[in-house]
C-alpha cells in the first residue's frame, strides 16, 4: 500500500483555528464580562434616577394635597371674618348696655324695664353663642392675667397693684376666629406698684411698639 493511501484527508474541523480564550483582567474578571457589567451599571443608574424622580413626584403630590386641604379648611374657618368684624360693634353695644345696669338698681323699677334689661342680656348671650358656633370667640382678659401680644393690645402702662408686665385693667374685650386674632383686647399693662413704678424689673411691656 502506498504512502498516499495511508495518509488521512484533512477535514475542515482540523483546519479551524482554536477559539481564543478570554483574557483575564488584573482584577480577576475576564474582558468578555466587561460589556455586561457596563450595561448592568448603566441600568442600575437609570433605575436609581427613575426612583428618585418618582419619590420627588410623590412628595410634591403630597405637598399639593396638604396645601389644598389647608386652603379648604382656612376658607371654611375664616369665610365669615369680614361679617364677624362688622358684628363686633353690635356685640360691644349690647355688652355696654348690659354692663351699664346694676342688678341692685333694678329693685323697685317697673317690670317692663326689668324685662327690657333681661331681653338685652339674653340677646347678647344668644349673639355670642351664635358667633362661637362659627368659630368666633370672645377674649376677655382679667387684671393679673399675663400679657399676650398675640391676643392683647397694650395702650397704656400704669402703676397698679398687679406685678409689672401683667394686665392692670381691660378697656375693651377682644375676639378671635379659629387660631387668628379678629380683634385684640385693649388693655393697660401694669408698671408695678406706685412706689416702684419706674422699676419694672425687666418685665415691663413696651406699649410704643
Q: How confident is the model at residue 179 (pLDDT cuts 50, 70, 90)?
A: confident
CB 139 within 8 A of CB 176: yes
Q: Determine the distance from the C-alpha atom of residue 115 to the mean position of all C-alpha atoms in its chain, rounded to a whole number.
A: 47
> Is pLDDT of 22 > 70?
no
Computed over every residue of the chain, the mean pLDDT equals 80
Please indicate whether residue 74 or residue 48 has the higher confidence score (pLDDT): 48
What's the rounded mean pLDDT across residues 55-83? 86
pLDDT the model gives residue 197: 46
pTM (2 d.p.): 0.59
Rounded-to-integer distance, Cα 175 and Cα 75, Å: 19
> What's the pLDDT tens digit per position in 111-165?
788 888 889 999 999 999 999 988 899 999 999 999 999 999 999 999 999 999 9
Cell digits of residue 138: 370672645
Amino acid at each position: 500500500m502506498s504512502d498516499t493511501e495511508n495518509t488521512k484527508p484533512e477535514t475542515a474541523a482540523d483546519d479551524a483555528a482554536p477559539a481564543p480564550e478570554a483574557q483575564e483582567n488584573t482584577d480577576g474578571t475576564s474582558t468578555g464580562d466587561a460589556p455586561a457589567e457596563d450595561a448592568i451599571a448603566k441600568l442600575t443608574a437609570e433605575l436609581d434616577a427613575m426612583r428618585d424622580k418618582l419619590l420627588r413626584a410623590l412628595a410634591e403630590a403630597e405637598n399639593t394635597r396638604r396645601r389644598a386641604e389647608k386652603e379648604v379648611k382656612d376658607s371654611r374657618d375664616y369665610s365669615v371674618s369680614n361679617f364677624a368684624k362688622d358684628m363686633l360693634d353690635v356685640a360691644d353695644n349690647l355688652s355696654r348696655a348690659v354692663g351699664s345696669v346694676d342688678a341692685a338698681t333694678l329693685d323697685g323699677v317697673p317690670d317692663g324695664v326689668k324685662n327690657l334689661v333681661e331681653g338685652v342680656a339674653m340677646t347678647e348671650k344668644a349673639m355670642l353663642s351664635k358667633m362661637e358656633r362659627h368659630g368666633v370667640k370672645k377674649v376677655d382678659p382679667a387684671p393679673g392675667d399675663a400679657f399676650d401680644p398675640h391676643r392683647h393690645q397694650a395702650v397704656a402702662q400704669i402703676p397698679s397693684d398687679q406685678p409689672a408686665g401683667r394686665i392692670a385693667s381691660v378697656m375693651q374685650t377682644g375676639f378671635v376666629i379659629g387660631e387668628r386674632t379678629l380683634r385684640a383686647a385693649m388693655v393697660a399693662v401694669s408698671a408695678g406698684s406706685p412706689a416702684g413704678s419706674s422699676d419694672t424689673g425687666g418685665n415691663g411691656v413696651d406699649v410704643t411698639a
